[in-house]
Amino acid sequence: MSAVCAALGAFAVVSSGLAPSAVAADIQSKQWYLDAMDAEGMWKVSTGKGVKVAVLDTGVNPDTSSLKGQVLEGEVSQAVSYNATKDYDGHGTSMAELIAGTGAGGGLQGLAPGAKIVPYRVLTKGVTNSTDKKNTPSIADAIKAAADSDAQILSMSFGGDIMNPDEEAAVKYAQSKGKLMFAGTGNDAESKNFIGYPAAYPYVVGVAAADDKGKVGDFSEHGNYVDLAAPGLKVPTWCDATFRAYCPDGVGTSMATAITSASAALIWSAHPNWTANQVLTTLIDTASRDWPKDQPSNYLGYGLVRPLRVLENSSINPGPANADPLGYENGTGLTGASSPPSPSASVTGSPQAPKNTSGGATSAAGSSSNSSDNNTQLYAIVGAALVVAIGGGAFAVARKRRAT
């Protein structure tokens, strides 16, 4: 059985009351993380040009103003191309725009606007039509096809509670082909907090969601398969598959996954000769954390992504090309998801056990926004006209552009 796409239907955001055109025109001002991460500063070094990101999701609409010219539908193999560019939910298109949207026409501004998207629709519970069920590629088949494509990064903003041997084998195949894979850890922490796949498979980087104050979302799954964290609260997405309006307050590890995938694209574009291991090594080494690197947190993993720290350091050491930065987790296995935290649980100081392939449940989009307490400073960036301090704790942001 395919993993469940928890993101589907999870973006039922209360309308702002504005007309669709007004919402679209203002939507970039809602992308708070662009200033917090100093996107303008990063784009002076890299826009993600030359990097292709496979988006495995609900399909990707290539005709939105922000994605025109950004979607490489011709690079999807015919065997898995069914409705790849017909997004039945709006979710896959949102993830693609967050990664590589140009922002044209008032659309979402991608963090890596120079990158290109290779689209895949995958079989999940959101696919209900019998014909679609028959023809939509399985998650495993889509991963294998993406592994055989020129895409360097696989972005998977979905998750389920069932470990599937075919999917695990496909992930291992993609890793053998040098791909870098990211997946949302899920959004059921407040009710279930079970292990989610594909995030928990070896060689997949599990991404948790943080808010504009640097706190992990209450909904964001925690456990020993969390590897990194990124903005995932109050992130705009398309409201639905009509593509008439954006909803400004989307929440979920889906968006965090897309933003992390874009971060990797920026780095890989700046260092095209690096391997997936080296790109991930630098993301881990520069991530914001106040705990020992060898004791990753169950809530934020190795910390919050800071691609600027890689891009601004031309002499950064990416480590050996063949050294897996998640070698401990991938080689030894994990023991299970952690118990739900108490309201005062810290996002730091919860060491992970290594990854393996035993069950649980998760999702890739959520509906809550608070976080566990943590008063220590995790993150400090000095960018052009920007200072950011994230402490599980706080983005203290002097923004060039504020949301209205």
What residue ranges in 143-239 does DSSP mark as E strands? Answer: 153-156, 180-184, 204-210, 228-231, 235-238
Q: Give the largest Cα separation in the chain, rounded.
A: 54
- Rounded CA separation 273/246 (Å): 37
Residues noted as catalytic: 57, 91, 254
Q: Are the CB atoms for 186 and 253 separated by under 8 Å?
A: yes
β pairing state of 52-57 and 153-156: parallel
- Going by C-alpha positions, the residue among 367, 155, 394, 371 that lies closest to residue 250 is 367
End-to-end alpha carbon distance in the chain: 44
SS3 153: strand
Amino acid at 281: T
- Going by C-alpha positions, the residue among 271, 252, 363 that lies closest to residue 315 is 271
- Rounded CA separation 76/90 (Å): 19
SS3 288: strand
DSSP symbol at 347: S
- Going by C-alpha positions, the residue among 87, 124, 135, 148 that lies closest to residue 6 is 124
- The region, left, alpha or beta by phi > 0 then psi within -120 to 50, assigned to residue 186 is left
Give the residue carrying structure tokens 């050996």. Answer: 320
Q: Are the CB atoms for 123 and 140 separated by under 8 Å?
A: no
Q: Are the CB atoms for 348 and 297 separated by under 8 Å?
A: yes
